[in-house]
Structure 1
Amino acid sequence: MWLVIDQGGHASRVLVIDRHGRPVAEARRPVSVSQPRPGWVEQDAGQIVASVREALADVAIQLGSACRQLRAAGLATQRSTLVCWDRRSGAPLSPAISWQDRRAAQWMRPFAAQRAKIRAITGLLPNAHYGVSKLHWCLQHLSAVRAARERGSLACGPLASFLLSNLLEEHPLLVDAVNASRTLLWDWRQRRWSAELLELFGLEKDYLPRGVATRYDFGPLAIGDLRVPLTVCTGDQPAALFAAGAPETGKAYINMGTGAFLQCVMPPSVAATDSPAQANLLRSVVWDEAETSIQVLEATVNGAGSALSVVAGELGIAGEEVQKYSAAWLTNADSIPLYLNGIGGLGSPLWREDFASGFAGPEASSATAPAKLVAVLESIIFLLVVNLEAMQGAGIPLQRIVLSGGLSVLDGLCQRLADICGLPVQRATQAEATAHGLAFLLAGSRAVWQKDAEDTVFSARENPALLERYRHWRDAMDEALGVQPAAQEADH
């Protein structure tokens, strides 16, 4: 059995999963999220540590003497969330600044001129969502961080590093390559911090954790009276990619939660060249071990579940009501407006951090609240379709879409994606994609995952009204982005 820690935006989950991919114990603790100012999203780093410890204790009670059957543990976290802490005491010196946070967007803007260099080294594009802008902000604005730097006790890094330091008995100062790659400071080819980028951003390596492989002897984790070696650390989305076993070419893997993340394994012909068609997509490290570094082509939609929450709040609809009625609304709503979704900033392939979200179309003024929420849900699908088209334009062959994550439970959402793309959409049986993917990575050759047998498949249907809304949405987005008609036709 394998112990997996899945630290997400709204909860810390600890699961124990057997060699067949079946959960045998599970505990969950909520974590709070605050937005003290527009564009700021942060969490209490100490609360995150406490939530994981409580969930571990709960699982230890559930397992009892069966704890002795645990072979190894793994950790998956939000990749671009950053923390500063005191390396001697382990105490946090900053909030956990969320991957959604864009407080340092203005500082990042001049680095757009270095876009080609940054992408060549990191696989990413200069963007305030990544760790470097948050690290710079902490050094500029938090006196406790500056004081720790002066006395030589400062540590800064991805949330994964902070949790490793606090949860493991030896308090290591380490970061895996996957989480390190989300800082805009990691050279994925050289597998080390980039001296060139550290100089470009005016930062030092001294307070960064040591970079290691995704599979590594990170140290012993206490669970009850036992010690379990933690041997895999990675990001939430890369782990989710392995939820049903090793990912395959020809499939687009989409995990829809707070954000929606689309990952495609690159065939050798695509991986060998970073073509102009890939320029607005990300090359993301999803696994790093020994001589093997696996990258995927990745696309991001920042406003998925978060967009639904924001608009529901604006409409005065409680989150519980949204969860309860979304499926019915998707089936029954009519006169659906368009929603131009820039919640959290427009992600790939459009990349516009200051995009103003809002409803559009002739139905916007008279639409009911349920119809507006359906428009938000459709906007998530529309943004995913734009990215799927970009993937195909970059040479990725697609025969099937695999969906996971909280929003994938909505049949109407899955069906709409199939209808627009003309591809079968396979909804993963396992709801906890990150946890199950992490367990697969821990188990390695010992895993005997049951693949696809119980998954639900949505086949494409004729849906002219939806396709018409998608075309109108594309036109409205192009107009809002200032795209000229000629360029618009070429883009389509």
Structure 2
Amino acid sequence: MPKFVLAIDQGTTSTRSIIYDEQGARVGIGQREHRQIFPEQGWVEHDPNEIWDNTRLVIATAIADADVDPSTIRAIGITNQRETTVVWDKRTGEPVYNAIVWQDTRTAGAAGALGLDQAAWLERTGLLINSYPAGPKIAWILDHVDGARERAEHGELAFGTIDAWLLFKLTGQHRTDVTNASRTLLMNLDTLEWDPELCEKLRVPASMLPEICSSVDDFGTVTHHGLLEGIPVTAVLGDQQAAMFGQGCFSPGQAKCTYGTGLFLLLNTGSQKVTSANGMLSTVCYRIRGEKPVYALEGSVAVGGALIQWLRDNLGIIRIAPEVERLAQTVPDNGGVTIVPAFSGLFAPRWVPDARGIITGLTRFATKAHLARAALEATAMQVREVTDAMVADSGVELEVLRVDGGMVANELLMQLQADVLGVDVLRPVDIETTASGVAYAAGLGAGLWETLEVVASHAEAAKTWAPAMDAAKVASLVAQWNEAVARSL
């Protein structure tokens, strides 16, 4: 009888369920977008119940699309937008507030208000104290929802990133994995446990927190979804760590960049936790039950594909996202135009929450084609910035960059990326490595695949871009970018 693995990929703009066979091939998919809620400037929220409803729908759609008997699904893996924060009633399962999304900047003043030491927290958690991690988001909900703090202190409320929320709804268990826990400012990166002192300083009751498991582990069996009843959840990974798994980046020095709503570059540092001096984050890359954790350096950029969506939805210069490539190809360069997409401030490596997006170099000569090309160049330049910082931290020169995510279908962008980095860029056969990665992890946990080497064999490169731009032109682009960024600060 054939065996399958089901991946739940809960992202910033949509939820997908994808079914994979024993050869790692995709056989069925379901996908549905959810609302982006913007109550105030800088605030970004999602409705957790809408995400749960969509999750149930896309699971059913994927099973129908694959035309498989649900009893042949041997394991489930969950991957998710990481820092997005949900607080719910333990008894009723109802959220007390909308999910606060990782892009949200309402907690930007948390470090200053609490008087916390950045260097000490960076060493202990791998994170900077800003609006990005989940911990300050929890505290905000407790402080701004009537009665929430009192209920939390009485043990009535639960916190989770989206993985924990979906696990709770599927299995009734309150668990998360080390990759998601490492994005909260509440987990000690050395012990991989919740840190009582950090919880106290951020004013988050420890009773709210889920049990921390390895990434490949026993997360419980499904009891709240008829089609999947009794099937075990054997893997949970934050989306970027799942992409590392999907790219087969299991050796120190291997790196990948995911081009989604944001841009996320991770470098495997092995069993060695590296504390950044250049604006990078330290994080858990993955942990397999019974084994030592593997760490990574990460550069997180808030706006990648979101910039293309802005060109489409706010400016109306393209009808659909893929048009940006064809439009940008109609001009030989950016015509002097630079876009700095600091819509939520600047993330790595600069971390300036009050920076604002700008367009520089506009003249009567500039057209929408120049704006399209400038948008692609902004994406490539932001990846170059985090790459330079990561190399400075690790002392390891990047030899090749593995890429994935929806934007890597844009071949002009991939060529620009190779040009400004000066290294080859490799795109895999399956560019949606977030879903395939957590499927491989779940299959590993269920015994469908025996070793990481077998998993890595599925990460086949489909196309490679080599640097082709003149060094002087690259230097000019970098100078133009830096000048524009300076104006956005």
Once the two structures are TM-superposed, the CA of residue 253 in structure 1 deviates from its matched residue by: 0.3
In the alignment, the residues of structure 1 paired with residue 153 and residue 133 of structure 2 have an alpha-carbon distance, to the nearest angstrom, of: 25
Once the two structures are TM-superposed, the CA of residue 2 in structure 1 deviates from its matched residue by: 0.8
Query: 1:26/1:449 Cα in 2 relative to 1: closer, same or farther (>3 Å)?
Result: farther
**Contact 1:245-1:440 within 8 A present in 2 as well:** no
Residue of structure 1 in register with 2:349 after alignment: 349
In the alignment, the residues of structure 2 paired with residue 316 and residue 280 of structure 1 have an alpha-carbon distance, to the nearest angstrom, of: 34
1:301 aligns with 2:304: no
- What TM-score does the superposition give when structure 1 sets the normalisation length? 0.90
Once the two structures are TM-superposed, the CA of residue 151 in structure 1 deviates from its matched residue by: 5.5
Q: Percent identity?
A: 28
- SS of residue paired to 2:295: strand
In the alignment, the residues of structure 1 paired with residue 356 and residue 61 of structure 2 have an alpha-carbon distance, to the nearest angstrom, of: 44
1:460 aligns with 2:459: no
Residue of structure 1 in register with 2:321 after alignment: 323
Output the amino acid matched with 1:387: V
1:179 aligns with 2:180: yes
Which of 35, 43, 47 is the equivalent residue of 2:50?
Answer: 47
Once the two structures are TM-superposed, the CA of residue 322 in structure 1 deviates from its matched residue by: 4.2
- Greater mean deviation of Cα atoms: 139-148 or 335-344: 139-148
Once the two structures are TM-superposed, the CA of residue 94 in structure 1 deviates from its matched residue by: 1.1
**Contact 2:249-2:255 within 8 A present in 1 as well:** no
In the alignment, the residues of structure 1 paired with residue 112 and residue 165 of structure 2 have an alpha-carbon distance, to the nearest angstrom, of: 28
1:22 aligns with 2:29: no
Which of 68, 71, 74 is the equivalent residue of 1:71?
Answer: 74
**Contact 1:250-1:400 within 8 A present in 2 as well:** no
Once the two structures are TM-superposed, the CA of residue 147 in structure 1 deviates from its matched residue by: 5.9
In the alignment, the residues of structure 2 paired with residue 256 and residue 440 of structure 1 have an alpha-carbon distance, to the nearest angstrom, of: 20
In the alignment, the residues of structure 2 paired with residue 322 and residue 15 of structure 1 have an alpha-carbon distance, to the nearest angstrom, of: 24
Once the two structures are TM-superposed, the CA of residue 465 in structure 1 deviates from its matched residue by: 3.8
Residue of structure 1 in register with 2:283 after alignment: 284
1:383 aligns with 2:390: no
Output the amino acid matched with 2:417: L
Residue of structure 1 in register with 2:93 after alignment: 90
Q: Structure 2 matches for 1:165-244, cutoff 5 A?
A: 165-168=168-171, 171-221=172-222, 222=225, 224=227, 226-244=229-247
Residue of structure 2 in register with 1:392 after alignment: 391
- SS of residue paired to 2:42: coil
In the alignment, the residues of structure 1 paired with residue 281 and residue 133 of structure 2 have an alpha-carbon distance, to the nearest angstrom, of: 12
In the alignment, the residues of structure 2 paired with residue 223 and residue 279 of structure 1 have an alpha-carbon distance, to the nearest angstrom, of: 48
Residue of structure 2 in register with 1:472 after alignment: 480
In the alignment, the residues of structure 1 paired with residue 348 and residue 322 of structure 2 have an alpha-carbon distance, to the nearest angstrom, of: 30
Considering only aligned residues, what root-mean-square deviation do their CA atoms show, in Å?
A: 2.2
In the alignment, the residues of structure 2 paired with residue 242 and residue 36 of structure 1 have an alpha-carbon distance, to the nearest angstrom, of: 35
Residue of structure 1 in register with 2:40 after alignment: 37
In the alignment, the residues of structure 1 paired with residue 79 and residue 455 of structure 2 have an alpha-carbon distance, to the nearest angstrom, of: 21
Output the amino acid matched with 2:16: R
1:433 aligns with 2:452: no
Residue of structure 1 in register with 2:330 after alignment: 332
Which of 118, 123, 127 is the equivalent residue of 1:124?
Answer: 127
1:11 aligns with 2:14: yes
In the alignment, the residues of structure 2 paired with residue 43 and residue 305 of structure 1 have an alpha-carbon distance, to the nearest angstrom, of: 18
Query: 1:295/1:316 Cα in 2 relative to 1: closer, same or farther (>3 Å)?
Result: same
1:407 aligns with 2:415: no
Query: 1:33/1:144 Cα in 2 relative to 1: closer, same or farther (>3 Å)?
Result: farther
1:368 aligns with 2:367: yes
**Contact 1:79-1:236 within 8 A present in 2 as well:** yes
In the alignment, the residues of structure 2 paired with residue 121 and residue 137 of structure 1 have an alpha-carbon distance, to the nearest angstrom, of: 22
- SS of residue paired to 1:382: helix
Output the amino acid matched with 1:186: M
Output the amino acid matched with 1:192: E
Query: 1:209/1:448 Cα in 2 relative to 1: closer, same or farther (>3 Å)?
Result: closer
**Contact 1:330-1:413 within 8 A present in 2 as well:** no
In the alignment, the residues of structure 1 paired with residue 484 and residue 415 of structure 2 have an alpha-carbon distance, to the nearest angstrom, of: 23
Output the amino acid matched with 1:477: V
In the alignment, the residues of structure 1 paired with residue 116 and residue 323 of structure 2 have an alpha-carbon distance, to the nearest angstrom, of: 46
In the alignment, the residues of structure 1 paired with residue 240 and residue 208 of structure 2 have an alpha-carbon distance, to the nearest angstrom, of: 26
Once the two structures are TM-superposed, the CA of residue 144 in structure 1 deviates from its matched residue by: 5.6
Query: 1:251/1:175 Cα in 2 relative to 1: closer, same or farther (>3 Å)?
Result: closer
In the alignment, the residues of structure 2 paired with residue 51 and residue 272 of structure 1 have an alpha-carbon distance, to the nearest angstrom, of: 37
Residues 77-106 of structure 1: per-residue CA shift (max 9 Å, x gap): 111000010111111111111111111212
**Contact 1:424-1:459 within 8 A present in 2 as well:** yes
Query: 1:192/1:315 Cα in 2 relative to 1: closer, same or farther (>3 Å)?
Result: same
- SS of residue paired to 2:464: strand
**Contact 2:404-2:428 within 8 A present in 1 as well:** yes
Query: 1:80/1:364 Cα in 2 relative to 1: closer, same or farther (>3 Å)?
Result: farther
Once the two structures are TM-superposed, the CA of residue 172 in structure 1 deviates from its matched residue by: 1.1
Query: 1:148/1:437 Cα in 2 relative to 1: closer, same or farther (>3 Å)?
Result: same
1:256 aligns with 2:259: yes
Query: 1:317/1:273 Cα in 2 relative to 1: closer, same or farther (>3 Å)?
Result: closer
- Greater mean deviation of Cα atoms: 295-304 or 248-257: 248-257
Residues 176-220 of structure 1: per-residue CA shift (max 9 Å, x gap): 111111111111211211111112212220122222222222111
Query: 1:403/1:223 Cα in 2 relative to 1: closer, same or farther (>3 Å)?
Result: farther
Q: Number of aligned residue pairs: give it.
A: 472
In the alignment, the residues of structure 1 paired with residue 249 and residue 358 of structure 2 have an alpha-carbon distance, to the nearest angstrom, of: 39
- SS of residue paired to 2:41: coil
Residues 142-185 of structure 1: per-residue CA shift (max 9 Å, x gap): 126346436532112212111111122xx111121111111111
Query: 1:96/1:479 Cα in 2 relative to 1: closer, same or farther (>3 Å)?
Result: closer
Residues 429-452 of structure 1: per-residue CA shift (max 9 Å, x gap): 212111111111122244566545
In the alignment, the residues of structure 2 paired with residue 27 and residue 417 of structure 1 have an alpha-carbon distance, to the nearest angstrom, of: 31
